Amino acid sequence: MSPNNTLSCTDLYLQIGKKVLCDNLSLQIEPGQTWAVLGLNGAGKTTLLHSLAGIRAANSGQIYLNKKNLTELTRHEIATQIGLLLQTQQDPFPGKVIEHVLIGRHPYLKALQWESEADYQIAIDALTTVGLDGFENRDLQSLSGGEYQRMLIAMVLVQQPSIYLLDEPINHLDWQHQHQILGTLTSMTEQKACSLMMALHDVNLAARYCSHTLMMFDHGQIKSGRTADLLNTETLEELYHTPIVQIENEQGQMFSPS
**20-29, 107-116, 171-180, 232-241: which has the minimum mean pLDDT?**
107-116
pLDDT tens, 182-229? 999 999 999 999 999 999 999 999 999 999 999 999 989 999 999 999
pLDDT tens, 94-134? 899 999 999 999 998 877 678 899 999 999 999 999 999 99
Domain 1-81+201-258 classification at class level: alpha beta
DSSP code for 26:
E
Please tell me the predicted confidence (pLDDT) of residue 90.
Answer: 64
Please tell me the predicted confidence (pLDDT) of residue 94.
Answer: 80
Q: Which of 173, 243, 233, 229 is nearest to 201 (CA)?
A: 173
Strands 68-69 and 60-65, sheet pairing: antiparallel
DSSP code for 54:
T
Please state the domain extents for the chain.
Answer: 1-81+201-258
Please tell me the predicted confidence (pLDDT) of residue 114.
Answer: 83
Separation between Cα atoms, residue 82 and residue 54, nearest integer Å: 9
Please tell me the predicted confidence (pLDDT) of residue 3.
Answer: 46
Confidence of residue 4 (pLDDT cuts 50, 70, 90): low
Separation between Cα atoms, residue 234 and residue 109, nearest integer Å: 49
Separation between Cα atoms, residue 96 and residue 91, nearest integer Å: 11
End-to-end Cα separation, the chain, in angstroms: 44
Separation between Cα atoms, residue 73 and residue 223, nearest integer Å: 29
More confident: 82 or 5: 82
DSSP code for 224:
E
Average pLDDT, the chain: 93
Specify whether the CB–CB gap between 62 and 10 falls below 8 A: yes
Cα-trace Rg, the chain: 18
More confident: 50 or 112: 50
Q: Which of 115, 90, 87 is nearest to 123 (CA)?
A: 115
| Three-class secondary structure of residue 30 per DSSP | coil
pLDDT at 69 over 70: yes
Query: Which amino acid is located at 136 in the chain?
Result: E
Confidence of residue 12 (pLDDT cuts 50, 70, 90): very high
pLDDT at 1 over 50: no
Name the pTM for this structure.
0.94
Confidence of residue 2 (pLDDT cuts 50, 70, 90): very low
The rounded percent of the chain whose pLDDT value lies above 70 is 97
Query: For the packed helices 145-159 and 117-129, what is the interaxial angle rounded to 10 degrees?
Result: 130
Confidence of residue 92 (pLDDT cuts 50, 70, 90): low
pLDDT tens, 160-180? 999 999 999 999 999 999 999
